Structure 1
């Protein structure tokens, strides 16, 4: 079976406020299932490049740039996780043969769970990757301090300018999560984020969108409860290490238990030797995600 090219087709879907950009990796056969993949808070649809490569045409993969990011940066607000979920539902109705499997990484996992809850007729199964399970703020921690801790590094990058594309590449190559592991796909993903002209290139992410969405990841009750109200089968995969490759990731079995996740309904398991980013791009993470996406896919005839 031939592998699809790294460069996907680029489509648009009308949504309130503009046209949502969607990357499409087509399947090798017309009866193949459709999967919709939802990226994280400052990412874009090309974050799914390695998963798309390893799917190798066994599904049609649709990955939007969420409003306020990359080629969808001109799609206006309001922002928020429910708005993104409704955008995903519009995409499925326009391009998918629903109901479909939806997979989401990081913030995209909360969006994925919300899409299933708000539009159950369009989603038959969800795969949640290092996200979707929320925790109450520790006693004595103020909301603004928690937001600053979570969004601080991202907001700092959004305020920066870069003289050329090489400078942005070097910025990302120094990120501890990559640990020297760089690939053409990571390069294409990070370069997709850049807008403007030299010597003042910057991230495409709209600051208001990131602030609004980040606050809702931490504080929005509809988003926090969505994983507990899924109307369809679901699975959670989590990275053993964190956003900066630190030993403690966002989740472990104890924290998931304290969050009250019913693992009879939503099984949860770690992906060994991955961090918050490499769970998408590394061999172990991408292979595990692909297995999860193909769990109930019909065999090729």
Structure 2
């Protein structure tokens, strides 16, 4: 798939612990490179985009479209997309190691990292464990601790944070039309249904081996990640040591288009007091998905990325 007219698109598989990590690279074409004086051939500026908990690299084409002259790299995190065959546990440290392997395979020494949702948490841990590989961080509706009660089981955490998003992972569908019909009723996309969204959803659907189809994302991996993200030590250790320039974008509506979103104002205020180095911007008019998976949301994110590229 050619995700953006200003880019060429290619897919790669990178050996990681337990299997192969699948990823996409959008290379800027010659005309788009000419629009940025700093980008020429292999020296084009690079951005690493890290998707959310049940997503894939195809969450990003709207953002890619708006970054002419920029090389964009985006993995399917282990347990998702075409990386769903990787053996072994997940968790923030495992994803961070996978990102380092991906950059190694592409010969990328250092890059801006943009993470959405769970990808923002992964990005913070990656910056901590591989500080020399990251120049700046952009966290999109994620990356700082969520406000969840202590003492919940793995299933309770997943259900409480992800709700129907997690329940979908156990569902079976007769085919793509059935799966698209399921998503058409999703409140987050009521006013944001696009051909790009359909391609993203089609990529997510895989055979279940018994004549039906299921989402590619592994529930077990999702549970591992959700528990580690909320109760493990990798994230608090990384945040305590955060040194990279970091921008956080939050939105007022959540996974079901409900207020107040992932970060209620009082909770967010406490977090920003605890992590004063994080520069925060509230982006009104979007929900957790549409901030990256809609043209208007991608406009905002791409503007921020361009500002961070200029600053780096």
CA distance in 2, matches of 1:126, 1:43: 20
Task: State yes or no: 1:119 paired with 2:130.
Answer: yes
* 1:11-26 to 2 correspondences below 5 Å: 11-26=12-27
Task: State yes or no: 1:98 paired with 2:99.
Answer: no
Q: CA 1:222 to 1:95, structure 2 compared with 1: closer, same or farther past 3 Å?
A: same
2:244 equivalent in structure 1: 232
Q: CA 1:42 to 1:12, structure 2 compared with 1: closer, same or farther past 3 Å?
A: same
2:304 equivalent in structure 1: 292
TM-superposed CA distance for 1:96, in Å, is 4.7
User: Which stretch has the larger CA shift, 204-213 or 253-262?
Assistant: 253-262
Q: CA 1:184 to 1:278, structure 2 compared with 1: closer, same or farther past 3 Å?
A: same
TM-superposed CA distance for 1:282, in Å, is 2.3
1:179-201 deviation per Cα after TM superposition (whole angstroms, max 9, x unaligned)? 14211111111111111179501
CA distance in 2, matches of 1:286, 1:136: 26
8 A contact 1:135–1:259 mirrored in 2: no
* 1:180-191 to 2 correspondences below 5 Å: 180-191=191-202
8 A contact 1:70–1:204 mirrored in 2: yes
SS for the counterpart of 1:84 is: helix
> Number of paired residues?
295
Q: CA 1:296 to 1:280, structure 2 compared with 1: closer, same or farther past 3 Å?
A: closer
* 1:1-301 to 2 correspondences below 5 Å: 4=5, 8-28=9-29, 29-30=40-41, 31-56=43-68, 58-135=69-146, 137-138=148-149, 142-144=152-154, 145-196=156-207, 199-261=211-273, 264-297=276-309
- Structure 2 residue runs of 5 or longer lacking an equivalent are 30-39
CA distance in 1, matches of 2:205, 2:88: 20
CA distance in 1, matches of 2:71, 2:91: 27
CA distance in 2, matches of 1:190, 1:161: 14
SS for the counterpart of 1:297 is: helix
User: Which stretch has the larger CA shift, 47-56 or 129-138?
Assistant: 129-138
User: Which stretch has the larger CA shift, 67-76 or 243-252?
Assistant: 243-252
8 A contact 2:11–2:24 mirrored in 1: yes
- Structure 1 residue runs of 5 or longer lacking an equivalent are none
SS for the counterpart of 1:277 is: coil
8 A contact 1:164–1:199 mirrored in 2: no
In angstroms, what is the RMSD of aligned CA positions? 2.2
CA distance in 1, matches of 2:236, 2:296: 28
2:33 equivalent in structure 1: none
TM-superposed CA distance for 1:16, in Å, is 1.1
TM-superposed CA distance for 1:7, in Å, is 7.9
Q: TM-score, normalised by structure 2?
A: 0.87
User: Which stretch has the larger CA shift, 141-150 or 247-256?
Assistant: 141-150
1:112-163 deviation per Cα after TM superposition (whole angstroms, max 9, x unaligned)? 0000000001111110000011045447x63453443124423321111111
